[in-house]
Structure 1
């Protein structure tokens, strides 16, 4: 049995809109292209894991219409859909505006994908997983997000490891919840903005102040400047891979997916980061957060 990764963050509808410039208040602009697909950071990460031969398990509630529209596509791609389920309500959306500089602006609507019921996760899945990927957006659903901490605590006690991907909405996470999830994590990943926000919200002098027995790796991605990773008493600096970007949506998710896959292959942290950097760069060469597993892709 291949080792599995449980992904917590929910699937949403990605609406990707390309325009020359962002509108000012009261503006009316033309959209150059539009793409709508099932997405979310969890699905992006899962796609990379699946592509690299791992067995990711997606957890998410979906409204009946979205479930009916996309579930067969996911099964056709070979995803384990045992933790995807129908629930009344409305699936959330992420509207992504991309201007001519390729900069992205996100408009997020939280829906039922943030619901959490650990009884929806079969015991046989829990027995098989080594890692849990936790997306920061999963902690922005008020009362629902609070339900995840007892589950994560039990998973850590059972020897599972958590990689916490902070996400751009880190300032929207309730502070006690944020601290609890940081303390339970083995690896934290964020970009410069997200790491700086975490330092400020935790009121610590430097991000390395939270490294301890359980939390041993903190990854800070720096775009075209590569990444800086703090591993106990060491600092690893990995340069970026030069590409001509088309759309940077999902590049961080591809980075994380490749990093987790490399961890499962028992590679060194340095090797994991080098592979992750390559996949993160390749993700910028196509529009949208991911390429379906049954579609043409760039060779890594």
Structure 2
């Protein structure tokens, strides 16, 4: 196999604005903020870059416009070792952009979709699927052109699979995802997303469930009864964009390297925490040595053996 990981996902840039104590006001009111920068965004690209940083061989399939922002997104991924041969540039179309307003550890996000949701299953070449050991789908609820064809794509893919659903702007947390989950090896939501997906599905998802719980660490529950919890590292974040995507990268890269589930949870938790040291999703992503140094200090608890 040429690639360990193929990420099928949305692509966009992020405009990170650190507001501090300032709140935006309409009425043509201008305010001065602490910092602002344009960086590589999107769950898929951040996961791909994080896994490549850890030593995995990674390819990305996604769509951008033919504007300067599309070139910016593809260039940033290539710089971080991600193969972009399966990414499309659509003539006359605009690349998506998210404005992230940070405020003392909290954030609000405003997204212009552009081409974010315009990747269809037919746009992912058979050669891409045949070249990878694992298929990861990012931001399921934003990728509306992928919904119809994804069940067949997952069914035909011979390796392992995962989905990070992301937040659903429609608030339904359905769009075919609950019915799709029996075909998926790992679902990687945060706690709020997990609760809403379970509600839409009428119960726990029928797949491996890895839930990111912020300062409470993360949990893993598998259909065979395996249940693990990892601590969250003690770290003071600078900016949290993409922390969950770096977590995904650590989890998947570790499993693909032959690690145990406990190993994967430790590295994932370390990667998610370390990625918050600088603004933007990729600037502070750790290499393998950095991730392992922190991961080795984290405790994984077997929840089956823990008294209730």
- TM-score, normalised via structure 1 length: 0.85
Equivalent residue for 1:53? Answer: 55
Equivalent residue for 1:223? Answer: 214
Shift of 1:298: 9.5
CA distance change for structure 1 residues 154 and 168 in 2, over 3 Å: closer, same or farther? closer
Equivalent residue for 2:161? Answer: 162
Equivalent residue for 2:146? Answer: 145
Bigger helix share: 1
Equivalent residue for 1:6? Answer: 6
Shift of 1:92: 1.3
Q: Distance in 2 between matches of 1:203 and 1:22?
A: 41
Equivalent residue for 1:17? Answer: 17
Aligned length: 286
Q: CA RMSD in A?
A: 2.6
Equivalent residue for 1:79? Answer: 82
Q: Report matched runs for 1:1-300 at 5 Å.
A: 1-21=1-21, 23=23, 26=26, 28=29, 29-65=31-67, 66-87=69-90, 88-99=92-103, 101-136=104-139, 138-142=140-144, 144-149=145-150, 152-169=151-168, 171-172=170-171, 175-204=174-203, 207=204, 210-211=205-206, 215=207, 217-232=208-223, 233-291=225-283, 299-300=290-291
Shift of 1:119: 4.6
Shift of 1:173: 5.8
Shift of 1:21: 3.3
- Deviation readout 1:55-75 (Å, 9 max, x if unpaired): 211112111123334434433
- Deviation readout 1:114-152 (Å, 9 max, x if unpaired): 21244543433221212111123x43354x133432xx4
Q: Distance in 2 between matches of 1:258 and 1:296?
A: 10
Q: Any stretches of 5+ residues in structure 1 without a counterpart?
A: none
Contact 1:139 1:173 in 2 (8 A): no
Q: Distance in 2 between matches of 1:24 and 1:291?
A: 26
Q: Distance in 1 between matches of 2:22 and 2:222?
A: 39
Contact 1:247 1:286 in 2 (8 A): yes
Shift of 1:183: 2.9
- TM-score, normalised via structure 2 length: 0.83
Q: Any stretches of 5+ residues in structure 2 without a counterpart?
A: 292-308
CA distance change for structure 1 residues 297 and 132 in 2, over 3 Å: closer, same or farther? closer
Contact 2:277 2:284 in 1 (8 A): no
